[in-house]
Amino acid sequence: MQVAIEEIRDILARKSNINRFPLEQIEWFENGIRINVSKEEIAEFKYTGLSNIDFALYYFDVEKKGGKVRKLMSVKKLSVYLQIKIGTIYNLVRNNKIPYLKGYGAIKFDEYEINEWLRRHRTELS
């Protein structure tokens, strides 16, 4: 593999430019199609303290999920989604029994990964 230093500089400059703007002011596009990101999803991510590039990597991780947009859920949203108590979710996290993301003290759950986890553990949860 050959890498041109100019390409690295260009990537770093674009990354810096993306991180310079408030997340709410960025319009996201893929293949010329605008992707709508809800204010709630942006607000939840802002609490993590991660950069706009990190947001894009988490939210638009399409390769891993067969072309689906990544949606992150809070503990409270997951509790409603799974119809289980918040304490049960914390126990699952504490015992590494459920897939989760953790950054700057915030615990988030990827909806796609949760659905895959549910498929694998369907009988255990019944």
Q: Are 38 and 69 in contact (CB under 8 A)?
A: no
- Give the pLDDT score at 63: 46
pLDDT digits (tens, 9 = 90+) for 14-53: 888 888 888 888 888 877 788 788 887 787 777 666 788 8
Nearest to 121 by CA among 99, 91, 101, 94: 99
| Separation CA 91–CA 21 (nearest Å) | 37
99 band by pLDDT with thresholds 50, 70 and 90? very high
- The domain limits of the chain are 1-126
Query: Residue written as tokens 């700057």?
Result: 104
| Separation CA 94–CA 59 (nearest Å) | 24
